[in-house]
């Protein structure tokens, strides 16, 4: 079986799809299948054991979209099936033009995310579902989203929360299943004490890794850290909100306690998470972030808002602490409680890795192979 994997981002980009797509490619290749990738990139991606073709992000938006649509369509014609983790509208249209089945892995509502990035809508993804209608562009993106997922042979979501949303868009429940993000096979490169020294950590330290976007509500995280005087925060990643985050650090006088590390490789992120006492997530909306599973897999508890599907893997008081979305005081109190209560901190750390022990790559990604094989028969 030959599979065309379509993803909007690819290493060295940071974010869930940039981790998931290469994992799927390696897994399929390791199980005897042929793989090809289409993505977008600012420069030519690094050489892999399989072809990675790309549309340049330097192209104007309309030209970029047309180029990627043509590229996906051409490459889909030489594949047996398409597996899409991004560029969903273009993937769906291309698969239809090439007359190839498509399996989709959603990490959110693509219509909402596109409109939110453009500043067309506000609020969270739940409010977006309750308020259908809007502008012609909004109705068009909702319609395209619904057409793609309804046509897909199967849709994977990382959480039950998102699965319920997909079913509400008119997809038969038996064609939507939850596929949690797999726990990483890699492990930290050195003992924790050595990693703490490498990252310059001496006292209480928390970490965040991910794309710096509005979704992550990093202003909430910064304000919470400002209220907890003893803690250091390390932020890894880049994105549209990078300048805003830097301005927030300066405005709150956090320069000595918050460090921006820029984009790190996945292995470096695992090292960072292992070095930190806890990882923190302040998102306004989420599904099932890769960073949560990665943190727990290396034994580091998670302090997070109850956004989307986070509570499906982080259990308050077991492997982390959960607070309401957008509540700066509650997030600050949770961070303070974590460091003030030694027995609680050790209990959360002891439970972290075991809580994601069932999320093995073989078990999780094996489901992708099953659905792709069924789609082409």
pLDDT of residue 165: 93
Percent of the chain with pLDDT over 70: 100
* 203 and 260 share one domain: yes
* 41 and 176 share one domain: yes
Q: For the residues 99-127, what does the mean pLDDT come to?
A: 88
Q: How many CB atoms lie within 10 A of CB 33?
A: 18
* 102 and 213 share one domain: no
pLDDT of residue 358: 84
Per-residue burial over 291-320, b if 16 or more Cβ lie within 10 Å, else e, is bbbbbbbbbbbbbbbbbbbbbbbbeeeebb
Residues 6+ apart with CB under 8 A from 131: none
Kindly report the CATH number assigned to the domain that includes residue 198.
3.40.50.2000
Q: What share of the chain is helix, strand, coil (3-state, %, to 5)?
A: 50, 15, 35
Range of the domain at 279: 192-356
> Higher confidence at residue 350 or residue 107?
350
Structure confidence by residue, pLDDT tens digits, 321-359: 999 999 999 999 999 999 999 999 999 999 999 999 888
Structure confidence by residue, pLDDT tens digits, 132-187: 777 888 999 999 999 999 999 999 998 888 999 999 999 999 999 999 888 887 68
Q: Give CA separation, 265 vs 11, 116, 269, 288, 301, in Å.
A: 8, 27, 6, 20, 21
3-state SS assignment for residue 304? strand
Distance, in Å, from the CA atom of 289 to the CA atom of 296, rounded to the nearest integer, reads 12
* 130 and 47 share one domain: yes
Q: How many CB atoms lie within 10 A of CB 53?
A: 17
Please, are residues 116 and 142 in contact by the beta-carbon 8 Å criterion? no
On whether residue 187 sits in a domain, the answer given is: no
On whether residue 297 sits in a domain, the answer given is: yes
On whether residue 53 sits in a domain, the answer given is: yes
The pLDDT-based confidence of 93 (bands split at 50, 70, 90) is very high
* 316 and 295 share one domain: yes
* 221 and 296 share one domain: yes
Whether the pLDDT of residue 117 is over 90: the answer is no
Before 12, cis peptide (omega within 30)? yes
On whether residue 186 sits in a domain, the answer given is: no
Q: How many CB atoms lie within 10 A of CB 174?
A: 7
Q: For the residues 260-275, what does the mean pLDDT come to?
A: 93
Q: Which two tokens stand for residue 155?
A: 């849709």
* 351 and 372 share one domain: no
Q: Give CA separation, 231 vs 91, 164, 328, in Å.
A: 44, 38, 15
On whether residue 163 sits in a domain, the answer given is: yes
pLDDT of residue 118: 82
* 231 and 177 share one domain: no
* 158 and 198 share one domain: no
For the chain, the domain total comes to 2
The pLDDT-based confidence of 14 (bands split at 50, 70, 90) is confident
On whether residue 273 sits in a domain, the answer given is: yes
* 349 and 365 share one domain: no
Please, are residues 268 and 186 in contact by the beta-carbon 8 Å criterion? no
Whether the pLDDT of residue 372 is over 80: the answer is yes
* 29 and 153 share one domain: yes
On whether residue 296 sits in a domain, the answer given is: yes
Listed as own residue / partner, the contacts of 77-81 with beta carbons closer than 8 Å and 24 or more positions apart are: 78/2, 78/4, 78/36, 79/2, 79/3, 79/4, 79/36, 80/1, 80/2, 80/3, 80/376, 81/1, 81/2, 81/3, 81/4, 81/153, 81/372, 81/375, 81/376
* 267 and 212 share one domain: yes
On whether residue 118 sits in a domain, the answer given is: yes
Distance, in Å, from the CA atom of 182 to the CA atom of 167, rounded to the nearest integer, reads 23
Q: Comparing C-alpha atoms, which of 181, 103, 180, 174 is closest to residue 368?
A: 103
Distance, in Å, from the CA atom of 290 to the CA atom of 26, rounded to the nearest integer, reads 17
Whether the pLDDT of residue 315 is over 90: the answer is yes
């Amino acid at each position: 079986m030959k599979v065309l994997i379509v993803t909007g981002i690819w290493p060295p980009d940071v974010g869930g799809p940039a981790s998931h797509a290469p994992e799927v490619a390696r897994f399929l290749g390791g199980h005897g299948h042929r793989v090809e990738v289409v993505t977008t990139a600012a420069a030519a991606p690094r050489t892999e054991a399989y072809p990675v073709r790309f549309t340049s992000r330097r192209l104007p938006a309309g030209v970029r979209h047309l180029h990627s649509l043509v590229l996906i369509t051409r490459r889909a014609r030489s594949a047996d099936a398409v597996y899409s983790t991004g560029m969903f509208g273009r993937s769906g249209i291309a698969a239809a033009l090439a007359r190839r089945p498509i399996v989709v892995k959603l990490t959110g509502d693509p219509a909402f995310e596109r409109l939110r990035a453009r500043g067309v809508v506000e609020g969270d993804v739940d409010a977006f579902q309750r308020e259908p209608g809007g502008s012609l562009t909004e109705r068009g993106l909702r319609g395209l989203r619904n057409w793609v997922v309804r046509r897909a042979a199967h849709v994977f979501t990382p959480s039950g929360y998102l699965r319920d949303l997909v079913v509400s868009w008119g997809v038969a429940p038996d064609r939507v299943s939850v596929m949690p993000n797999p726990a990483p096979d890699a492990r930290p490169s050195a003992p924790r004490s050595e990693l703490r020294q490498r990252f310059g950590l001496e006292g209480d330290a928390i970490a965040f890794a991910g794309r710096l976007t509005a979704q992550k509500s990093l202003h909430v995280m910064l304000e919470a850290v400002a209220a907890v005087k003893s803690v250091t925060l390390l932020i890894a990643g880049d994105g549209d909100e990078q300048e805003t985050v830097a301005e927030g650090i300066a405005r709150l006088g956090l320069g000595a306690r918050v460090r921006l590390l820029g984009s790190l490789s996945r292995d470096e992120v695992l090292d960072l998470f292992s070095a930190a006492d806890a990882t923190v997530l302040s998102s306004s909306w989420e599904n099932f972030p890769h960073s949560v599973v990665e943190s727990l897999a290396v034994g580091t508890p998670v302090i997070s808002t109850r956004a989307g599907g986070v509570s499906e893997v982080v259990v308050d008081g077991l492997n982390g602490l959960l607070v309401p979305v957008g509540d700066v005081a509650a997030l600050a109190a949770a961070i303070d409680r974590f460091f003030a209560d030694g027995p609680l901190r050790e209990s959360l750390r002891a439970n972290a890795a075991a809580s994601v022990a069932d999320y093995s790559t073989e078990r999780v990604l094996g489901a992708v192979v099953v659905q792709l094989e069924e789609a082409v028969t």
